[in-house]
Amino acid sequence: MLKAAEPSELHAYVVISLNTGIRTEEARALRWDHVVAWIPDLKKWQPVTEVGFKHKRFAIYVWRADRVGGDTKTRKSRRTLELPKLATQALRQHHARQAARKLKAGDAWQDHNLVFCTSIGTPLDAANVRRSFRRITKKAGIGTEWRPRELRHSFVSIMSDQGVPIETIADLVGHAGTSVTEAVYRHQLRPVITKGAHTMNTIFGDSRHG
């Protein structure tokens, strides 16, 4: 799917969503001044709108959402997420592409400072995002039933499969507690009942018997 998304204007949207687990309404509301780079000399994060992309570490402030009032779903949903290298690369390329679109649009460009926007800078419509995403999944050969929120579900599955504690997953996806994560993503979370047995097998060896 990531390969199929490369030519699409939604490429960075897909990569960021899959790599961070942010909600679709959070992705649509993300602003460039909430994309930040770590400046070692200052020991703090600075907006890329001020310091650019020539740095090693980047993060996003997930403080806004495409909701009534513009805030995230809950206060707990406000979080800072460091970006993996794949997401950083996609965002850097997206920034360059958007600059070219802005230049092409000229006076028609409406600057809302949005990371993900239309060809003239206006906010993305959720329905249009879904349609574009369906074209990507169809091209990827996984059908047209997928929705953008599936990227968040996939993020939880990947984290769980890699043994990331549910407490950490809950923090990453902006849940108030693990009970919400368990209730919403019960099919994505890997059962942990076998963790003890697997750990002991690793230590003592599968073939040893007491």
How does pLDDT run along the chain (210 residues), one tens digit per residue?
Answer: 999 999 999 999 999 999 999 999 999 999 999 999 999 999 999 999 999 999 999 999 998 886 545 555 556 678 999 999 999 999 999 999 999 999 999 999 999 999 999 999 999 999 999 999 999 999 999 999 999 999 999 999 999 888 888 899 999 999 888 888 888 887 777 665 555 666 777 877 765 554
Identified catalytic residue from 11, 64, 79, 175: 175
Give long-range contacts, CB 8 A cutoff, 24+ apart: 32-41. 32/95, 32/113, 32/114, 32/115, 33/113, 34/60, 34/61, 34/62, 34/63, 34/64, 35/59, 35/60, 35/91, 35/115, 36/60, 36/61
185 catalytic per annotation: yes
Q: What is the pLDDT at residue 118?
A: 95
175 catalytic per annotation: yes
Q: What is the pLDDT at residue 163?
A: 85
pTM of the model: 0.84
Identified catalytic residue from 55, 67, 73, 134: 73
Q: What is the pLDDT at residue 210?
A: 46
